Each structure stands twice: as structure tokens, then as C-alpha cells.
């Protein structure tokens, strides 16, 4: 079967399409920019992916699928497993196509035209887009000088128009964490009508015992939802599955804002299989966390002022030299994520990439 319409659209058709009324703020919104792929002889350190190959148990679980059938729309088996783990009911768990999907549902459920969503910046680059698509207004609160959330400033940014407060810990892309005590002080200060979302996509990598732990806060606050994902620690990035835990009325609203059937059967099976071999997968996380700590120590010895990262990545504050240094790393076979003119996020990947990373960083730090 061939497609008879393979030609590029004509200029006339393109111009005529401009007459369709679209939301101007969406038209002006840049699309999410994925980390660049890497050549066969290069290392992809641009997307915070887990470099370990999929576990055989996970591959076996998704081998035979009836792809002509829809998945369980509620992901009940996954929710039951997560509920048992966290000591909550299945209704207190929502599963989505990645934790960012659940966040999108929460923002759409809580914030509309003219409402405000407060978040740190720089933080996860998808936040501004999700807020704009919901019709809300993003309020960006700059990070502190040591690349951490400025919680007092975030509290002060809350107004009667605020509907959602997003806390990203560890923060992507700087890797810094919010302390448990300062988070408790924040929760005591915010209005109970404000939805607080604790985005913990990298929670399994945290080794700082003073960091906030969303799992320990479940049912403590009626306005808190904790987000986590299976993309990073569990190596399921390609299957897109994450979850949120929180009060039922909030999650019911989030479920109403979801795209139906977006969590595939393959993703649901993979999660259940991954949880069965969790000890092995978390052992790999320990390897990556140790590797990340070693890289940070070496970078500081070279003269880099890198923040303390508790994720599977490091942040290089390269400023105006960001594009130039990203190109130097790329030329050496390291594909990284540049955020001009602020810095570069480098994922912790294969052990074989570390020596090259440190060599190039040692050379370019003298040029800043």
C-alpha cells in the first residue's frame, strides 16, 4: 500500500493554514527539546537515562503482548502493588505515561486561565510548557547562588491567584535537594488550598539523609502529591510510566484530566517485573550514585564550582561559554545537554565515558 500524498505541502496550503485560529501563547511556545542522540561511537549523556541494559526479567515480561487489545486504563495491578508498598489505598495512587504526564494532569486539574503556578528556575524544562498549555501563568523563582530552591522566595511568590506550587528535589538540572526540615517549614506556611507537588523523579539516587523524602510524608498533608517515575532508576524510560501518590479528591481530578489508555500494557508489565527484581536494579543505582559522587569530587579538584548533585547527573555552570564547551564535549564523543547561557547538564553514563569527561572538563575550566 502506497501513500499518494507524499509531496511537501504547497506554500499556498501553508499560508492558508495560518488562518486557523490557534492560541497565540501555544504557537509561540517552543516544543520540548529532547536530548540529542549519540552516534554509535559516542556516549549519550544528554537525557539522564540509565546506562545499564534492560533486565532480562523485564524483557521477558513484555515479549508476548496482544497489541490489538487496549491496556487496563486504570493500571490497577500497578496501583495495587504501589499502594501496598507505600501503605495507601489504590485510589491514592495515579499512574501516567511518565511522572511528567501526571504533573500535566495535576496542573490542568488545578489551574486555569489567569491562575498561577509557582516553580523554581532553572528547573525541569517541561514545567513552563505544561503551565502554558493549561492556560495558567508560570511564576519562576530563581535558584539560590548555590543552585538550590529558594523556598522563602517561593513562599513569598504565592498570591491569591496561586493554585500549584512545584518543588523539584533533586532539582533537574542542578541535582540539588530540598531539606526535610525546610520543606516542613514551607508546608506549614503555604495555604491549605494550594496544591503542592513534590517532583521526585530521581529519589532513588539520593544519598543525603537530610533530604526531603516524599514517601515519608504520605497522608501528612491534605494538599500534597508526590511524583515518582520508573524511567530513571528502573531503566524504563522508553516505556514511559510514572506515578503520583496523594489525597483521593486531588487524584480523582487528575484522572479526569488524563488522556485515556496512555499507559501501555508493555509499560504496566515492565513495572511489575522490575519491582520483582528491584534489589538488582537498585544495586545499579548505587553504582551510578557512587560514580556521580566521584565525578563531582574530581570536577571540584579541577576548579569547577559544581553544586552537590543527588541525581544521576552533574551541573556545570559554564555561563557564556556553554555552547562552546558543549561543542568541545561533543567533539570528544560526549553528547550533553546545554542550557545557554547558564550551564550544561551531564548525565552519569557508562564508566568508559568518565575519563573523557574529566579530561575535557579539565582543559576547558581554564578558559572560563
- Which residue, 258, 276, 294, sits at the end of a domain? 276
Q: Are residues 193 and 334 in the same domain?
A: no
Please tell me the distance from the alpha carbon of residue 350 to that of residue 44, in angstroms, as a whole number.
Answer: 9
Last residue of a domain, one of 221, 253, 276: 276
Domain endpoint, select from 276, 309, 324? 276
Identify the CA nearest to 310 among candidates 159, 116, 173: 173
> Same domain, yes or no, for 313 and 168?
no
Q: Parallel, antiparallel, or unpaired for β 162-168 and 116-121?
A: parallel
- CATH number for position 42: 3.90.1150.10
Q: Is residue 12 part of a domain?
A: no
The verdict on 262 and 304 lying in the same domain is no
In a domain, 105, yes or no: yes
In a domain, 20, yes or no: no
Tell me whether residue 323 is in a domain.
Answer: yes
Does one domain contain both 195 and 78? yes
Under 8 Å between Cβ of 175 and 311: yes
Judgement on whether residues 242 and 187 belong to the same structural domain of the protein: yes
For residue 9, what pLDDT is reported? 73
Q: Where are the alpha helices (DSSP H) in 135-235?
A: 151-156, 180-189
Residue 206 within any structural domain of the chain: yes
What are the residues facing 345 on neighbouring strands? 315, 337
Q: Are residues 224 and 317 in the same domain?
A: no
Q: What is the pLDDT of residue 262?
A: 96
Same structural domain, 207 and 337 = no
Question: Which residue is it, cell 488545578?
Answer: 110
> Do 38 and 68 share a structural domain?
no
Place of cell 562552546: 324
Q: Quick one: pLDDT at residue 2?
A: 52
Range of the domain at 241: 56-276
What's the pTM?
0.94
> 9 in a domain, yes or no?
no
Place of cell 487489545: 69
**Residue 180 and residue 254 in one domain:** yes
Per-residue pLDDT of the chain (368 residues; tens, 9 = 90+): 555 555 667 888 988 998 999 999 898 888 877 767 777 789 999 999 999 999 999 999 999 999 999 999 999 999 999 999 999 999 999 999 999 999 999 999 999 999 999 999 999 999 999 999 999 999 999 999 999 999 999 999 999 999 999 999 999 999 999 999 999 999 999 999 999 999 999 999 999 999 999 999 999 999 999 999 999 999 999 999 999 999 999 999 999 999 999 999 999 999 999 999 999 999 999 999 999 999 999 999 999 999 999 999 999 999 999 999 999 999 999 999 999 999 999 999 999 999 999 999 999 999 98
| Angstrom distances, CA of residue 57 to CA of 51, 60, 201, 206, 236 | 17, 5, 23, 25, 12
Structurally, the chain folds into a number of domains equal to 2
Same domain, 188 and 262: yes
- 81 and 213 share a domain? yes
Phi, psi of 160 (to 5 degrees): -70, -5
Q: Is residue 23 domain-resident?
A: no
The per-residue pLDDT for 5 is 58
Q: What is the pLDDT of residue 355?
A: 97
Same domain, 272 and 318: no
Amino acid at each position: 500500500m502506497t501513500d499518494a500524498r507524499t509531496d511537501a505541502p504547497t506554500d499556498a496550503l501553508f499560508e492558508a493554514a495560518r488562518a486557523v485560529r490557534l492560541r497565540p501563547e501555544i504557537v509561540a511556545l517552543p516544543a520540548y527539546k529532547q536530548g540529542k542522540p549519540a552516534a554509535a561511537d559516542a556516549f549519550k549523556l544528554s537525557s539522564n537515562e540509565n546506562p545499564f541494559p534492560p533486565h532480562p526479567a523485564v524483557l521477558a515480561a513484555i515479549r508476548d503482548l496482544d497489541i490489538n487489545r487496549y491496556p487496563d486504563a486504570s493500571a490497577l495491578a500497578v496501583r495495587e502493588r504501589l499502594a501496598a508498598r507505600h501503605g495507601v489505598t489504590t485510589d491514592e495512587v495515579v499512574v501516567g505515561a511518565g511522572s511528567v504526564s501526571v504533573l500535566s494532569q495535576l496542573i490542568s486539574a488545578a489551574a486555569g486561565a489567569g491562575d498561577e503556578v509557582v516553580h523554581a528556575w532553572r528547573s525541569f524544562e517541561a514545567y513552563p510548557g505544561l503551565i502554558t498549555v493549561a492556560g495558567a501563568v508560570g511564576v519562576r523563582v530563581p535558584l539560590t547562588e548555590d543552585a538550590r530552591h529558594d523556598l522563602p522566595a517561593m513562599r513569598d511568590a504565592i498570591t491569591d491567584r496561586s493554585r500549584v506550587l512545584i518543588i523539584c528535589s533533586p532539582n533537574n538540572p542542578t541535582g540539588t535537594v530540598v531539606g526535610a526540615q525546610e520543606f516542613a517549614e514551607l508546608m506549614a506556611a503555604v495555604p491549605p488550598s494550594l496544591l503542592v507537588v513534590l517532583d521526585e523523579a530521581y529519589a532513588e539516587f539520593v544519598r543525603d539523609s537530610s533530604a526531603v523524602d516524599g514517601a515519608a510524608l504520605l497522608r501528612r498533608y491534605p494538599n500534597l502529591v508526590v511524583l515518582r517515575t520508573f524511567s530513571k532508576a528502573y531503566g524504563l524510560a522508553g516505556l514511559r510510566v510514572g506515578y503520583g501518590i496523594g489525597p483521593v479528591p486531588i487524584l480523582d481530578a487528575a484522572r479526569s484530566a488524563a488522556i485515556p489508555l496512555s499507559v501501555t500494557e508493555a509499560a504496566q508489565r515492565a513495572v511489575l517485573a522490575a519491582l520483582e527484581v528491584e534489589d538488582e536494579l537498585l544495586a545499579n543505582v548505587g553504582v551510578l550514585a557512587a560514580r556521580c559522587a566521584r565525578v563531582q569530587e574530581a570536577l571540584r579538584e579541577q576548579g569547577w564550582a559544581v553544586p552537590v548533585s543527588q541525581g544521576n547527573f552533574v551541573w556545570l555552570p559554564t555561563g557564556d561559554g556553554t555552547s562552546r564547551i558543549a561543542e568541545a564535549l561533543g567533539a570528544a564523543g560526549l553528547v550533553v545537554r546545554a542550557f545557554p547561557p547558564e550551564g550544561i547538564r551531564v548525565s552519569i553514563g557508562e564508566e568508559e565515558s568518565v575519563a573523557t569527561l574529566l579530561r575535557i572538563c579539565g582543559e576547558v575550566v581554564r578558559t572560563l
